[in-house]
């Protein structure tokens, strides 16, 4: 057996790795349900040089060889300080990772990880405090983690994630009930947190409607009509009893569809810094120590509100993180409080800014 289906990760195990150790217990518990501890036999390849697998890996047991072409670039042994960090983050992969002996490792979708860390650091309350809103409709951390892992939520300006969850309204529906009807005006954006829906569309030849799709927990719908100012293009009804979270048109436009931030390219960021601006890195200290821009300031996202007094309102800040997700949240906080802040487009993993590896 070269690779097994794995066993669920535990919170104590996740806390031994960066940047997971900085997450709140409730959110780490929810994330643990999405991560498996897997086994791979000696000689097998975890990933290959040049791949863009969009996964984040940590080594739990054993040893990995990192190869660049025909040469060995590094050896990573589980339990060492180096192994606390993800295995060679960044896409496409700079190395091929091969198991020297039988290994155990953690693997998670990189987008989900980044969204969850962003939510963890921007949320002003614990996930468990939303439990009452569900009124028995399910486990709060489960549905929130599910929604955060959907592609629709990956497109949301991350600075708005907290406000979206606060403003979402819970609605219970019975099997057979129509949620939106083809031809109606768009009024809400919906996310399914319990139950299943079906999508049907009327045609001149079929007034009863042709079934287009089924939707389940984590699926979202309704955005097209809100963005395009068009009529609903399909009918969505409940296949089972269920619970939907909905966001009204105004909040959807304000929080999900309007550009809120000033995004800059590598070249534009360099120009701002050359004219007296500063790099502000909002990643966790463990990430920053591993890889950073020279002369940058490191204030973790969850710390920014407390550290505003240390920043100069007359200075322009280019806020950065791995992908742009956390930095957009940090820039939003600064802009909201009167600072001139910009966000590095694509984040550090997509730049050639001469990052310095210190670990």
Q: Looking at residue 93, which CATH number applies to its domain?
A: 2.60.120.10
Domain termination residue (choose one: 203, 224, 257): 257
Q: Which among 209, 212, 181, 214 is positioned nearest to 197, based on CA atoms?
A: 214
Total structural domains in the chain? 3
> Does residue 250 share a domain with residue 338?
no
Task: Tell me the residue range of the domain where 38 lies.
Answer: 7-108
pLDDT, tens only, 93-124? 999 999 999 999 999 888 778 877 877 776 54
CB atoms within 10 A of CB 200: 17
> Does residue 193 share a domain with residue 280?
no
Residues for the chain: how many in total?
359
From first to last of its 359 residues, the chain has per-residue pLDDT tens of 344 578 889 999 999 999 998 888 878 887 888 888 999 999 999 999 999 888 999 999 999 999 999 999 999 999 999 999 999 888 899 999 999 999 999 998 887 788 778 777 765 444 444 444 444 444 555 667 767 766 556 656 666 777 787 788 889 999 999 999 988 988 998 988 889 999 888 877 777 778 888 888 877 788 767 755 768 878 999 999 999 989 898 888 788 655 457 889 999 999 999 999 999 999 989 999 888 898 999 998 878 877 889 999 999 999 999 888 788 878 877 876 778 999 999 888 777 665 655 44
Residue 191 covered by a domain: yes
Domain termination residue (choose one: 85, 108, 131): 108
> Does residue 294 share a domain with residue 217?
no
Quickly tell me which residue has 């060889």 as its tokens.
65
> Does residue 132 share a domain with residue 212?
yes
CA angle 285, 96, 84 (to 5 degrees): 25
Report how far residue 191's alpha carbon sits from residue 168's, in angstroms, rounded to the nearest whole number. Answer: 9
Q: Cα torsion at 20, 21, 23, 25 (round to 10°)?
A: 120
* Residue pair 318/269 in contact by the 8 Å Cβ criterion: yes
> Does residue 309 share a domain with residue 251?
no
Report how far residue 239's alpha carbon sits from residue 243's, in angstroms, rounded to the nearest whole number. Answer: 12
Domain termination residue (choose one: 108, 133, 153): 108
> Does residue 269 share a domain with residue 247?
no
> Does residue 222 share a domain with residue 151?
yes
> Does residue 274 share a domain with residue 297?
yes
The model's pTM is 0.63
> Does residue 331 share a domain with residue 224?
no
> Does residue 250 share a domain with residue 128?
yes
Phi, psi of 135 (to 5 degrees): 45, 50
**278-298: buried (b, 16+ CB within 10 Å) or exposed (e) per residue?**
bbbbbbbebbbebbbbeebbb
């Amino acid at each position: 057996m070269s690779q097994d289906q794995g066993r669920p990760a535990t919170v104590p195990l996740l806390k031994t790795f960066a940047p997971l150790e900085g997450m709140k217990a409730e959110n780490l518990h929810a994330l643990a349900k999405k991560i498996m501890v897997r086994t791979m036999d000696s000689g097998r390849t975890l990933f290959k040089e040049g791949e863009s697998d969009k996964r984040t890996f940590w080594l739990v047991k054993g040893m990995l060889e990192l190869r660049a072409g025909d040469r060995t670039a590094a050896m990573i042994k589980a339990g060492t300080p180096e192994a606390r960090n993800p295995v060679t983050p960044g896409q496409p992969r700079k190395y091929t990772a091969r198991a020297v002996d039988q290994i155990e490792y953690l693997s998670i979708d990189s987008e989900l990880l980044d969204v969850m860390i962003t939510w963890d650091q921007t949320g002003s309350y614990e996930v468990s405090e939303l439990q009452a809103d569900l009124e028995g409709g399910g486990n709060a951390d489960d549905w929130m983690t599910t929604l955060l892992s959907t592609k629709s939520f990956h497109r949301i300006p991350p600075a708005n994630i907290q406000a979206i969850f606060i403003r979402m309204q819970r609605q219970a529906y019975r099997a057979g009930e129509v949620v939106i009807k083809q031809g109606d005006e768009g009024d809400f954006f919906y996310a399914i947190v319990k139950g299943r829906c079906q999508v049907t569309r009327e045609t001149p030849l079929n007034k009863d409607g042709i079934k287009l799709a089924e939707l389940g927990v984590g699926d979202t719908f309704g955005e097209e009509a809100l963005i395009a100012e068009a009529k609903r293009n399909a009918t969505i009804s409940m296949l089972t009893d269920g619970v939907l979270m909905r966001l009204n048109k105004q909040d959807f436009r304000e929080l999900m569809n309007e550009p809120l931030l000033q995004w800059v390219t590598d070249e534009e960021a360099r120009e701002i810094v050359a004219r007296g601006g500063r790099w502000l890195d909002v990643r966790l200290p463990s990430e920053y120590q591993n890889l950073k821009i020279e002369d940058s300031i490191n204030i973790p996202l969850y710390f920014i509100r407390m550290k505003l007094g240390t920043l100069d309102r007359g200075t322009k800040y280019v806020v950065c993180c791995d992908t742009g997700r956390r930095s957009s949240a940090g820039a939003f906080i600064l802009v909201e409080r009167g600072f001139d802040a910009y966000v590095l487009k694509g984040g550090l993993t997509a730049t050639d800014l001469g990052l310095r590896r210190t670990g």
